[in-house]
Structure 1
């Protein structure tokens, strides 16, 4: 049985600020959010058709990805609506709205979903995390913690409003 909440982060740790999604997931894991069995943390290089299966049976999903400069300011959390467009037959990568739309088309339902976009500055191969991205990661971490807490409270899991082991 799947955890009710899924945090699905995408990004390539070898491409500078594209590592923001995976790095946020590492922070959430260090916080202990996945220890209760109520939250699953999943990481991949990009969203793919196969992720429709990961969305099944979830009460809510948070998708996390780096954003190019100017797309968002720092870190931005926004709700997502499914997009009915189908991916091109030759494409394996999807955007978040198309993933939700495909999940809806294939499964007849899609969980409520949010996107946490984290502004990056440098995406070159072999680059480290930029100073700006580090600051945006801190902001995104706070937004993700608040989202998980709120979703757990909404799901009737009010006793689990802090990570395992936290006082």
Structure 2
């Protein structure tokens, strides 16, 4: 007798947030991920998205891109214009990386090499951070930037469609 296996399709939208909660404003990614998860659950929209957090993007995260319609990367940035930058990311084969830390553009370039499929449309929300020292808490400025970024996240997830997201790109 053959046993049937259930294969579940991945949620159409993937959010990958990076950051270290023990390093001051580097906590912005995980903080926004938690806020987004709570908001999606309250609004009843959580089923359409998968939210993943990690300290940094790694090659293994390319497998998380398989079968997605949209991907959003969230991270803190030191030199990012305040309060944040929201941009579309494109796969870049020559983007610098190591096997332990990748920028989103390099991660997008990995997927076709391992799974022979084009990476889904991807966007980056980089939120301005001020302090990244070990043991520091979130700075007041970063907290304000997070509030503004969360407003954008709510707008994005009210209509998780590529055309809507493109219309909200930073100038």
Q: TM-score, structure 2 length as denominator?
A: 0.82
- Whole-Å separation in 2 of the counterparts to 1:82 and 1:65: 18
Partner of 2:34: 26
Partner of 1:57: 67
1:46–1:127 distance in 2 versus 1, CA, 3 Å: same
Work out the number of aligned pairs and report it.
153
Query: Can you give the 5+ residue segments of structure 1 that lack an aligned partner in the other structure?
Result: 156-167
Backbone CA RMSD of aligned residues: 2.1
Equivalent residue of 2:15, what SS? Answer: strand
Worse overlay, 33-42 or 1-10: 33-42
Q: TM-score, structure 1 length as denominator?
A: 0.84
1:67 matches 2:111: no
- Aligned-pair distance for 1:78? 0.6
1:4 matches 2:15: no
Give the structure with higher Rg (CA).
2
Query: Can you give the 5+ residue segments of structure 2 that lack an aligned partner in the other structure?
Result: 1-8, 165-171
Equivalent residue of 1:123, what SS? Answer: coil
